[in-house]
Amino acid sequence: MADTEFPGWHGTTIIGVRKGGKVVIAGDGQVSLGQTVIKGTARKVRRLSPGGFDVVAGFAGSTADAFTLLERLETKLEATPGQLARASVELAKDWRTDKYLQKLEAMLIVTDGKDLFVITGAGDVLEPEHDVTAIGSGGNFALAAARGLMESDLDAEGIARKAMAIAADICVYTNGNLTVETIAG
């Protein structure tokens, strides 16, 4: 079936903000099919603890694809405990070269409280400038809002929540039902 015949799954906004020794990843709860909201309370931000090592991950894209990637990331973290950068690069390499993984349609924001990365299927492991990153349909709105708020008195969670509220006001594929996870650096 051609993409034009099927409306496809759209939407989500995930943001990562590092400020004051903490990193917050927040995500909205909306799942849309075309112009219809299917669910408003999806949980797209998760805490992983492979081998007692805490990592927070948020995902945009296909849920099944994202869970496949999160499982692979956990495996990589178990093989390289405490080395999020190395595990992320190994996941990105596999994602780019493995024929099965190449078909996955998702993006991840991951943090261990020290590092903050966006991992893509193009083989990218991106460390954001300005301690803020965002992905998904409302990602650019949330990113712009958070960048503007970084010099305010708000802490990382306050910035993430306000930026997500702004994105939800602008992006029809983003709602205000947030999952927020904080991890110290």
Say if 4 falls within a structural domain.
no
The answer to whether the CB of 164 falls within 8 A of the CB of 173 is no
The answer to whether position 3 is within a domain reads no
Angle between helix axes 139-149 and 156-170 (nearest 10 degrees) is: 140
Active site residues: 12
Sheet of strand 31-33: strand arrangement = 9-10, 31-33, 36-39
> Is position 1 within any domain?
no
Task: Please give the tally of structural domains in the chain.
Answer: 1
Residue 46 lies in a domain: yes
| Cα 98 from chain centre | 22
Would residue 33 count as lying in a domain? yes
* pLDDT tens sequence across 165-179: 999 999 999 999 999
The mean per-residue pLDDT over the stretch 32-47 comes to: 91
Is residue 167, in this structure, part of any structural domain at all?
A: yes
Residue 12 predicted with pLDDT over 80: yes
| pLDDT, mean of residues 6-28 | 85
Determine the pLDDT at residue 49.
86
Note the pLDDT of residue 83.
Answer: 95
pLDDT at 3 over 90: no
Query: Which residues touch 159 (CB under 8 Å, ≥6 apart)?
Result: 17, 19, 24, 132, 146, 149, 150, 152
- Residue 132 counted as domain residue: yes
C-alpha to C-alpha distances, 172 to 143, 164, 180, nearest whole angstrom? 16, 12, 20
Per-residue model confidence (pLDDT) at position 64: 84
> In which domain, by residue range, is 77 found?
9-184
Lowest mean pLDDT among 7-16, 73-82, 148-157: 7-16
Give the pLDDT confidence of 106-138 residue by residue, as tens digits.
Answer: 899 999 999 999 998 888 999 999 999 999 999
Would the pLDDT of 39 be above 70? yes
Cβ(66)–Cβ(108) below 8 Å: yes
Q: Residue with structure tokens 């008195």?
A: 153
Q: Is residue 184 within 8 Å of residue 47, measured between CB atoms?
A: no
* 9, pLDDT greater than 50: no
CA distance 82 to 77: 7
Beta-carbon contacts of residue 77 (< 8 Å; ≥ 6 apart): 48, 50, 51, 53, 55, 83, 84, 87
Between 1-5, 75-79, 153-157, 180-184, the lowest mean confidence (pLDDT) is in 1-5
What's phi and psi for 170, nearest 5 deg?
A: -100, -45
CATH number assigned to the domain comprising residue 126: 3.60.20.10
41-68 pLDDT, tens digit per residue, is 999 999 998 777 899 999 998 888 888 8
3-state secondary structure 172-183: CCCCCCCEEEEE
The answer as to whether 2 is a domain residue is no
